[in-house]
Amino acid sequence: MQTAAKTFLRSSSMGPSPFLARRHTPWHESTAVTEPAEGVFFVEGPASNWIIAREGQDFTLIDGGYPADLPRVLDSIRHTGLRPERAAAMLITHGHVDHTGSAAWFSAEYGTPVLCSPGEYRQLLGEEKYQVSPGQVILRAWRPRVFNWLVHVLQAGGLQENDIPDAGIWDIARLAGLPGAPVAVPTPGHSPGHAAYRLPGAGAVATGDALVTGHAISPAAGPQMLHPMFHHDIEAAYRALEALAAVPERLVLPGHGPSMTLDLAAASAALRR
């Protein structure tokens, strides 16, 4: 695990990331929105992703990009033929600003329930914050990928306050009644209460940042862990892979990078080596 982290640090000053190129391509819902499973729409934002699980005219939204992604979130929902006000709930994998950016707006504008695990609740309220510090980023900003990613974060509203005063905590019964019938998989480590969400009927799992398939500062494509500076507890983040290894679904919908069909047990084992 330590060797992998050192390799990542060395390689992060190499050539352009395959995902950084997306920043220079105009975003449009016609190319960013895919339907990898019936009724499940995966949306690749400029720097983080969100998921729409549809049931009739209602839907569950999983995560919501950066604050500046709000127009894209709305456009992606309308692109699927849905109306944003019909969101049954927004589920949050974790309380980082690149995943909660549109949550406060949905809550205030439509009264959409914004739900998270008990361990993330105080972070959504703004009472606690477990996010990479500016100092950690600045120390690495001489690397071109990190610098370019930092510019995007600033432009996307990554430093603005994004508290969600009406956030709530899900329970098993409430999740089961939502479109997609999501099932929470506790995966603490990246943040204290990080949770992935299985969508059993679609054979899919939204992994948030517990396992990703790319990132703007990463030289690699495919299943991977985020850079160590992004994790609240790096040892726990690697232990969380054991929970993902037990997930039977094979369609991985990550918080960063493209959707991918994977044997999660094999992928998780390879990352834990």
The three-state DSSP-derived secondary structure of 10-55 is: HHCCCCCCCCHHHHHCCCCHHHHEEEEECCEEEEECCCCEEEEEEE
* Residue 185: closest CA among 261, 91, 102, 259: 91
Structural contact between residues 128 and 193, judged by C-beta atoms closer than 8 angstroms: no
- Backbone φ, ψ for residue 162 (5° rounding): -140, 40
Specify the amino acid at residue 72.
Answer: R
- Backbone φ, ψ for residue 212 (5° rounding): -125, 170
pLDDT tens series, the chain, 273 aa: 433 333 333 333 334 445 445 545 788 988 999 999 999 999 999 999 999 999 999 999 999 999 999 999 999 999 999 999 999 999 999 999 999 999 999 999 999 999 999 999 999 999 999 989 888 999 999 999 999 999 999 999 998 888 999 999 999 999 999 999 999 999 999 999 999 999 999 999 999 999 999 999 999 999 999 999 999 999 999 999 999 999 999 999 999 999 999 999 999 999 998
Q: What is the pTM of this model?
A: 0.91
CA–CA gap between residue 43 and residue 41 (Å, rounded): 6
CATH classification of the domain holding 149: 3.60.15.10
CA–CA gap between residue 269 and residue 105 (Å, rounded): 39
Half-sphere exposure of 48 (CA within 13 A, CB side): 33
Task: Output the CA torsion sign for 146, 105, 194, 41.
Answer: negative
Structural contact between residues 107 and 114, judged by C-beta atoms closer than 8 angstroms: yes
Q: How many domains does the chain have?
A: 1
169 beta partners = 116
Domain that holds residue 172: 2-272
